[in-house]
Amino acid sequence: MDTPEDTIQTTAVRAEREPVNLLGLTLTGLEEYFRVIGERPFRAVQLLKWIHQQRITDFSAMTNLSRELRARLAAEAVVRLPEIVSTQKSTDGTIKWLVRVAADNCIEMVFIPDARRGTLCISSQVGCALNCTFCFTARQGFNRNLSSAEIIAQVWLARTLLENDSADRRVITNVVLMGMGEPLLNFENVVDALELMLEDNAHGFARRRVTLSTAGVVPKIDALRQRCRVSLAVSLHAPNDRLRDQLVPLNKRYPIRELLAACRRYVEDDARAKVTFEYVLLAGVNDSRQHARELAALLADLPAKVNLIPFNPFPNSGYQCPPAPVIDDFREVLMARRIMTITRKTRGGDIDAACGQLAGEVQARSRRVRLRNANRLATPGRTTVTLPPEQLQS
Ligand code: SAH
Protein backbone atom coordinates (compact mmCIF):
# COMPACT_ATOMS: atom_id res chain seq x y z
CA MET A 1 0.00 0.00 0.00
CA ASP A 2 1.09 3.57 -0.63
CA THR A 3 2.40 5.41 2.35
CA PRO A 4 0.38 8.58 3.05
CA GLU A 5 3.33 10.66 1.81
CA ASP A 6 3.38 8.81 -1.52
CA THR A 7 -0.32 9.24 -1.84
CA ILE A 8 -0.15 12.92 -1.13
CA GLN A 9 2.55 13.41 -3.75
CA THR A 10 0.85 11.49 -6.54
CA THR A 11 -2.46 13.21 -5.91
CA ALA A 12 -0.77 16.59 -5.88
CA VAL A 13 0.58 15.92 -9.39
CA ARG A 14 -2.85 14.91 -10.66
CA ALA A 15 -4.40 17.98 -9.13
CA GLU A 16 -2.82 20.19 -11.82
CA ARG A 17 -5.49 19.01 -14.27
CA GLU A 18 -8.20 19.91 -11.79
CA PRO A 19 -10.20 16.69 -11.96
CA VAL A 20 -13.14 16.08 -9.58
CA ASN A 21 -11.98 15.27 -6.07
CA LEU A 22 -14.10 12.32 -4.94
CA LEU A 23 -12.83 12.49 -1.35
CA GLY A 24 -15.51 14.89 -0.10
CA LEU A 25 -18.50 13.36 -1.89
CA THR A 26 -21.16 11.74 0.29
CA LEU A 27 -22.99 8.56 -0.70
CA THR A 28 -25.63 10.66 -2.45
CA GLY A 29 -22.98 12.84 -4.06
CA LEU A 30 -21.10 9.84 -5.42
CA GLU A 31 -24.32 8.23 -6.68
CA GLU A 32 -25.07 11.43 -8.55
CA TYR A 33 -21.51 11.51 -9.93
CA PHE A 34 -21.84 7.97 -11.27
CA ARG A 35 -25.29 8.67 -12.71
CA VAL A 36 -23.88 11.65 -14.60
CA ILE A 37 -21.03 9.62 -16.09
CA GLY A 38 -23.47 6.84 -17.06
CA GLU A 39 -22.46 4.30 -14.40
CA ARG A 40 -24.69 2.39 -12.00
CA PRO A 41 -25.24 4.10 -8.62
CA PHE A 42 -24.08 1.07 -6.59
CA ARG A 43 -20.54 2.03 -7.58
CA ALA A 44 -20.86 4.74 -4.94
CA VAL A 45 -20.74 2.24 -2.07
CA GLN A 46 -17.72 0.54 -3.62
CA LEU A 47 -15.90 3.84 -3.94
CA LEU A 48 -16.73 4.91 -0.38
CA LYS A 49 -15.28 1.68 0.96
CA TRP A 50 -12.09 1.98 -1.06
CA ILE A 51 -11.55 5.62 -0.20
CA HIS A 52 -12.58 5.80 3.45
CA GLN A 53 -12.23 2.26 4.77
CA GLN A 54 -9.30 0.85 2.78
CA ARG A 55 -7.94 4.36 2.39
CA ILE A 56 -6.85 3.65 -1.17
CA THR A 57 -6.51 6.69 -3.38
CA ASP A 58 -5.21 5.02 -6.53
CA PHE A 59 -8.09 3.96 -8.78
CA SER A 60 -6.03 1.23 -10.44
CA ALA A 61 -5.94 -0.63 -7.10
CA MET A 62 -9.75 -0.66 -6.85
CA THR A 63 -10.06 -4.21 -8.11
CA ASN A 64 -13.82 -4.64 -8.04
CA LEU A 65 -14.28 -1.88 -10.62
CA SER A 66 -14.10 -2.73 -14.32
CA ARG A 67 -10.87 -1.95 -16.10
CA GLU A 68 -12.66 0.70 -18.21
CA LEU A 69 -14.13 2.42 -15.19
CA ARG A 70 -10.77 2.48 -13.43
CA ALA A 71 -9.21 4.10 -16.49
CA ARG A 72 -12.02 6.62 -16.77
CA LEU A 73 -11.76 7.58 -13.10
CA ALA A 74 -8.01 7.94 -13.41
CA ALA A 75 -8.55 10.35 -16.30
CA GLU A 76 -11.37 12.42 -14.82
CA ALA A 77 -11.24 12.17 -11.06
CA VAL A 78 -8.88 12.08 -8.15
CA VAL A 79 -8.81 11.32 -4.45
CA ARG A 80 -6.75 14.24 -3.24
CA LEU A 81 -5.54 14.73 0.33
CA PRO A 82 -3.94 17.83 1.74
CA GLU A 83 -0.35 17.59 2.84
CA ILE A 84 0.87 17.18 6.41
CA VAL A 85 3.50 19.87 6.99
CA SER A 86 4.56 19.02 10.50
CA THR A 87 3.82 16.71 13.41
CA GLN A 88 4.35 17.62 17.06
CA LYS A 89 4.01 15.20 19.94
CA SER A 90 3.33 16.37 23.46
CA THR A 91 4.81 14.67 26.51
CA ASP A 92 1.22 13.69 27.41
CA GLY A 93 0.73 11.82 24.11
CA THR A 94 -1.27 14.54 22.38
CA ILE A 95 -0.32 14.94 18.71
CA LYS A 96 -0.79 18.10 16.68
CA TRP A 97 -0.54 18.12 12.91
CA LEU A 98 -0.21 21.15 10.68
CA VAL A 99 -2.08 20.51 7.43
CA ARG A 100 -1.51 22.58 4.30
CA VAL A 101 -4.77 23.37 2.52
CA ALA A 102 -3.42 25.96 0.08
CA ALA A 103 -0.03 27.37 -0.86
CA ASP A 104 -0.09 29.85 2.00
CA ASN A 105 -2.71 28.47 4.39
CA CYS A 106 -2.52 25.73 6.99
CA ILE A 107 -4.96 24.43 9.55
CA GLU A 108 -4.32 22.37 12.65
CA MET A 109 -5.79 19.13 13.92
CA VAL A 110 -5.11 17.43 17.24
CA PHE A 111 -5.31 13.85 18.52
CA ILE A 112 -5.90 13.51 22.25
CA PRO A 113 -5.50 9.99 23.65
CA ASP A 114 -6.57 8.95 27.12
CA ALA A 115 -7.02 5.59 28.79
CA ARG A 116 -10.41 4.86 27.21
CA ARG A 117 -10.68 7.13 24.22
CA GLY A 118 -8.82 8.60 21.31
CA THR A 119 -10.33 11.94 20.37
CA LEU A 120 -9.55 13.70 17.13
CA CYS A 121 -10.18 17.45 17.13
CA ILE A 122 -10.60 18.84 13.62
CA SER A 123 -10.96 22.25 11.99
CA SER A 124 -13.79 23.52 9.79
CA GLN A 125 -12.44 26.86 8.52
CA VAL A 126 -9.10 28.48 7.77
CA GLY A 127 -9.06 30.92 10.66
CA CYS A 128 -12.26 32.18 12.22
CA ALA A 129 -14.44 35.26 11.81
CA LEU A 130 -16.13 35.23 15.19
CA ASN A 131 -13.52 37.13 17.19
CA CYS A 132 -14.17 35.60 20.58
CA THR A 133 -11.85 37.67 22.75
CA PHE A 134 -10.09 34.77 24.51
CA CYS A 135 -9.36 32.61 21.44
CA PHE A 136 -6.05 32.59 19.63
CA THR A 137 -7.58 31.38 16.36
CA ALA A 138 -9.52 34.66 16.21
CA ARG A 139 -6.25 36.57 16.16
CA GLN A 140 -5.36 34.93 12.85
CA GLY A 141 -8.39 36.41 11.12
CA PHE A 142 -10.54 34.53 8.64
CA ASN A 143 -9.53 33.22 5.25
CA ARG A 144 -12.10 30.75 3.95
CA ASN A 145 -14.30 27.75 4.56
CA LEU A 146 -12.76 24.32 4.24
CA SER A 147 -14.31 22.07 1.56
CA SER A 148 -16.02 18.84 2.64
CA ALA A 149 -12.94 17.04 1.25
CA GLU A 150 -10.58 19.10 3.41
CA ILE A 151 -12.69 18.40 6.50
CA ILE A 152 -13.06 14.64 6.02
CA ALA A 153 -9.41 14.49 4.92
CA GLN A 154 -8.44 15.28 8.51
CA VAL A 155 -10.17 12.12 9.74
CA TRP A 156 -8.70 10.15 6.82
CA LEU A 157 -5.16 11.39 7.42
CA ALA A 158 -5.23 11.01 11.20
CA ARG A 159 -6.61 7.45 10.99
CA THR A 160 -3.97 6.52 8.44
CA LEU A 161 -1.09 8.14 10.31
CA LEU A 162 -2.12 6.64 13.66
CA GLU A 163 -2.50 3.17 12.15
CA ASN A 164 0.92 3.42 10.52
CA ASP A 165 2.59 4.61 13.73
CA SER A 166 4.27 1.37 14.66
CA ALA A 167 5.54 2.74 17.98
CA ASP A 168 2.14 3.93 19.17
CA ARG A 169 -0.83 2.60 17.19
CA ARG A 170 -3.99 4.33 18.32
CA VAL A 171 -7.61 4.21 17.29
CA ILE A 172 -9.82 7.24 16.91
CA THR A 173 -12.98 6.63 18.96
CA ASN A 174 -14.40 10.17 18.92
CA VAL A 175 -14.30 13.14 16.58
CA VAL A 176 -14.93 16.70 17.77
CA LEU A 177 -15.32 19.76 15.56
CA MET A 178 -13.60 21.97 18.09
CA GLY A 179 -10.56 23.02 16.13
CA MET A 180 -10.20 26.18 14.08
CA GLY A 181 -13.34 27.87 12.79
CA GLU A 182 -17.06 28.01 13.41
CA PRO A 183 -18.51 24.83 11.88
CA LEU A 184 -22.07 26.15 11.59
CA LEU A 185 -20.86 29.03 9.40
CA ASN A 186 -19.62 26.41 6.93
CA PHE A 187 -22.82 24.44 7.12
CA GLU A 188 -23.13 22.45 3.86
CA ASN A 189 -19.51 21.33 3.76
CA VAL A 190 -19.55 20.40 7.44
CA VAL A 191 -22.77 18.39 7.05
CA ASP A 192 -21.31 16.48 4.07
CA ALA A 193 -18.21 15.67 6.10
CA LEU A 194 -20.33 14.64 9.10
CA GLU A 195 -22.34 12.32 6.86
CA LEU A 196 -19.11 10.66 5.75
CA MET A 197 -18.04 10.27 9.39
CA LEU A 198 -21.34 8.56 10.26
CA GLU A 199 -21.85 6.57 7.02
CA ASP A 200 -21.39 2.84 7.60
CA ASN A 201 -19.66 2.42 4.24
CA ALA A 202 -17.24 5.23 5.07
CA HIS A 203 -15.96 5.94 8.63
CA GLY A 204 -18.93 4.52 10.56
CA PHE A 205 -18.78 6.57 13.78
CA ALA A 206 -21.82 6.47 16.07
CA ARG A 207 -23.68 9.80 16.25
CA ARG A 208 -22.93 10.33 19.91
CA ARG A 209 -19.21 9.95 19.23
CA VAL A 210 -19.12 12.89 16.86
CA THR A 211 -19.52 16.31 18.47
CA LEU A 212 -19.97 19.66 16.80
CA SER A 213 -19.09 22.68 18.89
CA THR A 214 -20.63 26.06 18.05
CA ALA A 215 -20.47 29.56 19.45
CA GLY A 216 -24.24 29.64 18.86
CA VAL A 217 -25.41 30.18 15.29
CA VAL A 218 -29.04 29.64 16.28
CA PRO A 219 -30.78 28.99 12.91
CA LYS A 220 -28.07 26.53 11.95
CA ILE A 221 -28.52 24.59 15.20
CA ASP A 222 -32.09 23.93 14.06
CA ALA A 223 -30.88 23.08 10.56
CA LEU A 224 -28.33 20.62 11.96
CA ARG A 225 -31.09 18.93 13.95
CA GLN A 226 -32.95 18.33 10.67
CA ARG A 227 -29.96 17.29 8.62
CA CYS A 228 -27.47 15.40 10.76
CA ARG A 229 -28.04 15.17 14.46
CA VAL A 230 -24.64 14.61 16.00
CA SER A 231 -23.81 15.53 19.61
CA LEU A 232 -24.01 19.25 20.22
CA ALA A 233 -21.61 21.36 22.29
CA VAL A 234 -22.20 25.07 22.77
CA SER A 235 -19.53 27.57 23.77
CA LEU A 236 -21.42 29.58 26.38
CA HIS A 237 -18.67 31.18 28.51
CA ALA A 238 -20.95 33.66 30.30
CA PRO A 239 -24.23 33.42 32.21
CA ASN A 240 -25.73 36.71 31.02
CA ASP A 241 -25.94 38.69 27.78
CA ARG A 242 -24.02 41.68 29.09
CA LEU A 243 -20.89 39.61 29.66
CA ARG A 244 -21.42 37.25 26.74
CA ASP A 245 -21.79 40.17 24.33
CA GLN A 246 -18.23 41.11 25.25
CA LEU A 247 -16.65 37.66 25.15
CA VAL A 248 -18.51 36.12 22.23
CA PRO A 249 -19.57 38.97 19.89
CA LEU A 250 -21.93 36.59 18.05
CA ASN A 251 -24.15 36.85 21.14
CA LYS A 252 -25.33 40.26 19.99
CA ARG A 253 -26.98 38.56 17.07
CA TYR A 254 -28.19 35.42 18.86
CA PRO A 255 -28.62 36.18 22.56
CA ILE A 256 -28.61 33.56 25.31
CA ARG A 257 -32.39 33.10 25.53
CA GLU A 258 -32.66 32.25 21.82
CA LEU A 259 -29.58 30.08 21.98
CA LEU A 260 -30.87 28.00 24.88
CA ALA A 261 -34.27 27.63 23.19
CA ALA A 262 -32.50 26.16 20.14
CA CYS A 263 -30.52 23.81 22.41
CA ARG A 264 -33.75 22.65 24.02
CA ARG A 265 -35.27 21.95 20.60
CA TYR A 266 -32.13 20.08 19.56
CA VAL A 267 -32.56 17.40 22.21
CA GLU A 268 -36.29 17.56 22.95
CA ASP A 269 -37.30 14.26 21.39
CA ASP A 270 -34.29 12.29 22.58
CA ALA A 271 -34.62 11.49 26.27
CA ARG A 272 -30.98 10.44 26.60
CA ALA A 273 -29.33 13.33 24.78
CA LYS A 274 -27.66 16.22 26.57
CA VAL A 275 -26.14 19.42 25.28
CA THR A 276 -22.60 20.10 26.46
CA PHE A 277 -21.98 23.70 27.47
CA GLU A 278 -18.36 24.80 27.29
CA TYR A 279 -17.33 27.51 29.68
CA VAL A 280 -13.81 28.87 29.49
CA LEU A 281 -12.82 30.19 32.91
CA LEU A 282 -11.17 33.62 32.79
CA ALA A 283 -9.75 34.96 36.05
CA GLY A 284 -11.76 37.86 37.43
CA VAL A 285 -14.04 37.95 34.38
CA ASN A 286 -16.55 35.07 34.52
CA ASP A 287 -15.28 32.84 37.34
CA SER A 288 -17.04 33.99 40.54
CA ARG A 289 -19.46 31.96 42.62
CA GLN A 290 -22.15 34.42 41.58
CA HIS A 291 -21.43 33.64 37.91
CA ALA A 292 -21.68 29.94 38.73
CA ARG A 293 -25.03 30.41 40.47
CA GLU A 294 -26.33 32.41 37.52
CA LEU A 295 -25.15 29.71 35.14
CA ALA A 296 -26.82 26.98 37.19
CA ALA A 297 -30.11 28.90 37.14
CA LEU A 298 -29.85 29.33 33.38
CA LEU A 299 -29.31 25.64 32.74
CA ALA A 300 -31.62 24.31 35.47
CA ASP A 301 -34.38 23.00 33.19
CA LEU A 302 -32.17 21.86 30.30
CA PRO A 303 -30.66 18.43 29.68
CA ALA A 304 -27.20 19.89 30.04
CA LYS A 305 -23.72 19.08 31.13
CA VAL A 306 -20.98 21.64 31.61
CA ASN A 307 -17.36 21.43 30.52
CA LEU A 308 -15.25 23.94 32.39
CA ILE A 309 -12.17 24.86 30.37
CA PRO A 310 -9.42 26.61 32.32
CA PHE A 311 -8.20 29.42 30.06
CA ASN A 312 -5.22 28.38 27.94
CA PRO A 313 -2.90 31.34 27.62
CA PHE A 314 -1.34 32.85 24.50
CA PRO A 315 0.77 35.97 24.02
CA ASN A 316 -0.97 39.30 24.68
CA SER A 317 -4.29 37.64 25.43
CA GLY A 318 -5.03 40.00 28.29
CA TYR A 319 -6.56 37.10 30.25
CA GLN A 320 -5.39 34.72 32.93
CA CYS A 321 -6.42 31.28 34.07
CA PRO A 322 -8.04 31.31 37.54
CA PRO A 323 -6.20 29.51 40.38
CA ALA A 324 -7.22 25.87 40.96
CA PRO A 325 -9.35 26.55 44.09
CA VAL A 326 -11.47 29.08 42.15
CA ILE A 327 -12.06 26.51 39.41
CA ASP A 328 -12.99 23.87 42.01
CA ASP A 329 -15.39 26.29 43.73
CA PHE A 330 -17.08 27.10 40.46
CA ARG A 331 -17.58 23.43 39.76
CA GLU A 332 -18.91 22.73 43.23
CA VAL A 333 -21.55 25.44 42.95
CA LEU A 334 -22.81 23.81 39.74
CA MET A 335 -22.62 20.27 41.10
CA ALA A 336 -24.52 21.31 44.25
CA ARG A 337 -27.28 22.41 41.90
CA ARG A 338 -27.23 19.01 40.17
CA ILE A 339 -25.54 20.14 37.00
CA MET A 340 -23.15 17.52 35.76
CA THR A 341 -19.84 19.36 35.46
CA ILE A 342 -16.36 18.32 34.53
CA THR A 343 -13.21 20.39 34.38
CA ARG A 344 -11.44 19.72 31.12
CA LYS A 345 -7.82 18.80 31.63
CA THR A 346 -5.41 20.86 29.58
CA ARG A 347 -3.82 18.55 27.04
CA GLY A 348 -0.95 19.25 24.71
CA GLY A 349 -0.15 22.60 26.35
CA ASP A 350 3.58 22.15 25.66
CA ILE A 351 2.91 22.05 21.89
CA ASP A 352 0.19 24.76 21.85
CA ALA A 353 -2.42 22.14 21.03
CA ALA A 354 -4.86 23.01 23.81
CA CYS A 355 -8.33 24.52 23.32
CA GLY A 356 -8.14 27.94 21.78
CA GLN A 357 -4.44 27.75 21.00
CA LEU A 358 -4.68 26.52 17.42
CA ALA A 359 -3.18 28.96 15.01
CA GLY A 360 -2.18 27.25 11.78
CA GLU A 361 -0.94 29.66 9.15
CA VAL A 362 -3.79 31.84 8.08
CA GLN A 363 -3.57 34.62 5.53
CA ALA A 364 -6.57 36.71 6.53
CA ARG A 365 -8.44 37.74 3.41
CA SER A 366 -9.88 41.02 4.48
CA ARG A 367 -7.79 43.94 5.63
CA ARG A 368 -10.61 44.74 8.02
CA VAL A 369 -9.98 41.54 9.89
CA ARG A 370 -6.30 42.35 10.24
CA LEU A 371 -6.98 45.87 11.41
CA ARG A 372 -9.52 44.60 13.88
CA ASN A 373 -7.04 42.14 15.25
CA ALA A 374 -4.35 44.78 15.57
CA ASN A 375 -6.84 46.91 17.39
CA ARG A 376 -7.76 44.05 19.68
CA LEU A 377 -4.16 43.38 20.60
CA ALA A 378 -4.03 46.94 21.88
CA THR A 379 -7.24 46.74 23.92
CA PRO A 380 -8.17 43.14 24.62
CA GLY A 381 -11.88 42.54 24.83
CA ARG A 382 -12.84 46.12 23.99
CA THR A 383 -13.62 46.03 20.28
CA THR A 384 -17.05 45.33 18.91
CA VAL A 385 -16.91 43.12 15.90
CA THR A 386 -19.21 42.50 13.01
CA LEU A 387 -19.16 39.40 10.88
CA PRO A 388 -18.53 39.56 7.15
CA PRO A 389 -22.00 39.65 5.54
CA GLU A 390 -21.57 36.31 3.76
CA GLN A 391 -20.99 34.68 7.14
CA LEU A 392 -24.32 35.83 8.51
CA GLN A 393 -26.74 34.31 6.02
CA SER A 394 -29.08 32.09 7.90
N1 SAH B 1 -16.27 28.02 16.97
C2 SAH B 1 -16.62 26.83 17.69
C3 SAH B 1 -15.55 25.80 17.57
C4 SAH B 1 -14.25 26.14 18.28
S5 SAH B 1 -14.23 25.10 19.63
C6 SAH B 1 -16.99 27.18 19.11
O7 SAH B 1 -16.86 28.33 19.47
O8 SAH B 1 -17.47 26.31 19.82
C9 SAH B 1 -12.97 25.59 20.59
C10 SAH B 1 -13.37 25.61 22.06
O11 SAH B 1 -12.25 26.10 22.78
C12 SAH B 1 -14.51 26.56 22.30
O13 SAH B 1 -15.33 26.18 23.38
C14 SAH B 1 -13.75 27.79 22.65
O15 SAH B 1 -14.53 28.73 23.28
C16 SAH B 1 -12.64 27.24 23.50
N17 SAH B 1 -11.51 28.15 23.62
C18 SAH B 1 -11.15 29.11 22.76
N19 SAH B 1 -10.06 29.76 23.19
C20 SAH B 1 -9.71 29.20 24.36
C21 SAH B 1 -8.65 29.41 25.27
N22 SAH B 1 -7.71 30.33 25.06
N23 SAH B 1 -8.59 28.63 26.36
C24 SAH B 1 -9.52 27.67 26.56
N25 SAH B 1 -10.53 27.40 25.72
C26 SAH B 1 -10.64 28.17 24.63
Q: Which among 55, 78, 101 is the end of a domain?
A: 78
Could you tell which of 186, 210, 213 is best to mutate to test the pocket of ligand 1, judged by most ligand atoms within 8 Å of the CB? 213
For the domain that residue 222 is a member of, what is the CATH number? 3.20.20.70
Q: What pLDDT score does 168 carry?
A: 77
- Is the CB of residue 386 less than 8 Å from the CB of residue 124? no
DSSP assignment letter at 32? H
Any atom of ligand 1 within 6 Å of the Cβ of 178: yes
Given this model, what pLDDT does residue 18 score? 77
355 among known catalytic residues:
yes
Q: Do residue 271 and residue 181 come from a single domain?
A: yes
- Mean pLDDT value across residues 317-344: 97
How many whole angstroms separate alpha carbon 362 and alpha carbon 203? 29
**Structural domain boundaries, residue 64:** 8-78
Residue nearest to atom 18 of ligand 1 (CA): 356
Distance CA 184, CA 394 (A): 10
Q: How many whole angstroms from 355 Cα to the centroid of ligand 1?
A: 6
Q: What is the pLDDT of residues 208-223, one digit of tens each?
A: 999 999 999 999 999 9
CA dist list (Å): 303 to 41, 183, 238, 299, 340: 41, 22, 18, 8, 10
- The tens digit of pLDDT for each residue in 294-306 reads 999 999 999 999 9
Ligand 1 atom closest to the Cα of residue 237 is 15
Q: Determine the Cα–Cα distance for residues 310 and 287; give it in Å rounded to an integer.
A: 10
Number of domains in the chain: 2
All residues at 6 or more sequence positions from 93 whose CB lies less than 8 Å from its CB, including other chains: 112, 113, 168
Please give the average per-residue pLDDT across 1-22, as a whole number. 58
Overall pTM > 0.75? yes
**pLDDT score for 378:** 35
| Ligand 1 binding pocket includes 160 (Cβ within 6 Å) | no
**Quick check: 67 pLDDT over 50?**
yes
Burial class (CB in 10 A: 0-12, 13-18, 19+), 355: buried
Residue 45 has pLDDT above 90, yes or no: yes
- Give yes or no for a contact between 266 and 211, defined as CB atoms under 8 angstroms apart: no
pLDDT category of residue 165 using cuts at 50, 70 and 90: confident
Q: State how far the Cα of 202 lies from the Cα of 387, in Å rounded to an integer.
A: 35
Cα(182) to centroid(ligand 1), Å: 10
Q: What's the pLDDT tens digit per position in 335-344?
A: 999 999 999 9
Query: Pick from 54, 78, 102: which residue ends a domain?
Result: 78
Give SS3 for 274. coil
pLDDT at 196: 98
Pair 358, 272 in one domain:
yes
Question: Which residue type, as a one-letter code, is found at position 349?
Answer: G
pLDDT band at 385 (very low <50, low <70, confident <90, very high): very low
- CATH code at position 48: 1.10.150.530
